[in-house]
Structure 1
Amino acid sequence: MSGRPDGSKVWFDPLGVLIQPGQTVRWTNHDKGNSHTATAYAPENQGHPRRIPDGATPFDSDYLLPGESFETVLTVPGVYDYLCLPHEMAGMVGRIIVAAPEPGDLTGYPDGDLPKVVLDGFPSITEILKQKNVYRMGG
């Protein structure tokens, strides 16, 4: 989690990650000027549309102050989309793919369930599978 010193831009970096089932994911707030969350898209998290695999437990870090961390273990294969609650409309979203070494058929989620500014923030499934970690360009 990071951002410009003046708060004009905020982001997750990397914003796309490929992991294997059972791996731990950790978010650390490196933004000295903002608090952030790492929150799964799920109805249990403030009524957001479900954009995590069926059977997966939704995660929510709650607000992380600068220097604080949150981690979770993801075990259900599939695509996990997540957001920062206060900065979703600024495009602060990310995507994790949980897949065995041969990922098989992974599908995304419908484009109509979120605003365009949010959808534009997600790296593609293809890009994540190819690069393993997708980093934000520029700041």
Structure 2
Amino acid sequence: MTLSRRLVLTLGGGALATLTMPARLVAAPVEVIEMRGSARGERVWFSPRGLAVPAGSTLRFVNRDKGNSHTSTAYHPALFDRKRRIPKAAQPWDSDYLLPDDSFEVTLIVPGVYDYYCLPHEMAGMTGRVVVGVPADPGWEGPSDDTTDLEPEALSSLPPVDEILAAGRVVTEPEE
């Protein structure tokens, strides 16, 4: 019996799809973090500003602020010479400026605490924190205690790790 090329490709493609299916089914979901701002632009924030996710999760930062551009920038010496506030083995990220409705994705693999900020709005308290995994995970790194290069507004807007772990997400809209 001679198999046609089309039949071989069809069967091979079906087998490949079946083999990769379990990987697609167990992939971590994409978590959305919105960049927000008040109508007049006097307040800006990430929503949620605290998030707990499993290792391997992808974060999608979406600018929902019609009046401002924003960034999602990890605190790291390689980016604007900032103190490192992500796990040592983790890769830093910078979204560059996102215009309204633009988005940026990053996948976090290393367990620990990741702090990030909006480059033009950090002094307005536009910071966020993601907790990847739990403290019992191998290699997990807690939050940095070096706050020498943080303004009080940036530091005070970072939710505590235990609050993030207990709630899963911390959403706090600024007062109007």
For this pair of structures, how many residues does the alignment match?
137
Deviations 1:93-119 (A, max 9, x none): 0000000xx542752211532222211
Using the TM superposition, give the Cα deviation of residue 138 of structure 1 relative to its aligned residue in structure 2, in angstroms: 4.2
Larger radius of gyration: 2
Which of 123, 132, 150 pairs up with 1:98? Answer: 132
Match for residue 115 of structure 1?
A: 151
2:78 pairs with 1:44? yes
Contact 2:39 2:67 in 1 (8 A): yes
How far apart are the structure 1 equivalents of 2:103 and 2:153? 26
- Matched with 1:78 is 112
Q: Where does structure 1 differ by over 3 angstroms across 4 or more consecutive aligned residues?
A: none
1: CA distance, partners of 2:130 / 2:95: 15
Show the counterpart of 2:172.
136
* Corresponding residue SS for 2:128: strand
1:129 alignment partner AA: L
Q: Helix, strand or coil for the counterpart of 2:47?
A: coil
Q: What is the one-letter code of the residue matched to 1:31? A: D
1:35-60 Cα shifts (integer Å, max 9, x gaps) = 00000000111011100001100011
In structure 2, distance between residues paired with 1:96 and 1:107: 11
Give the stretch that moved more between structures: 108-117 or 12-21.
108-117
When the two chains are superposed, the root-mean-square deviation of aligned CA atoms in Å is 1.3
Q: Say if 1:111 and 1:119, in contact at 8 Å, map to a contact too.
A: no
State whether residues 68 and 100 of structure 2, in contact with CA within 8 Å, keep that contact through their aligned partners in structure 1: yes
Q: Which has the higher helix share?
A: 2
Q: Distance in 2 between matches of 1:119 and 1:53?
A: 18
Q: Is the 8 A contact 1:29 1:64 kept in 2?
A: yes
Q: Which of 65, 90, 96 lines up with 1:56 in the alignment?
A: 90
Q: SS of 1:95's equivalent?
A: strand
The structure showing larger relative contact order (alpha-carbon pairs under 8 Å, at least 6 residues apart) is 1
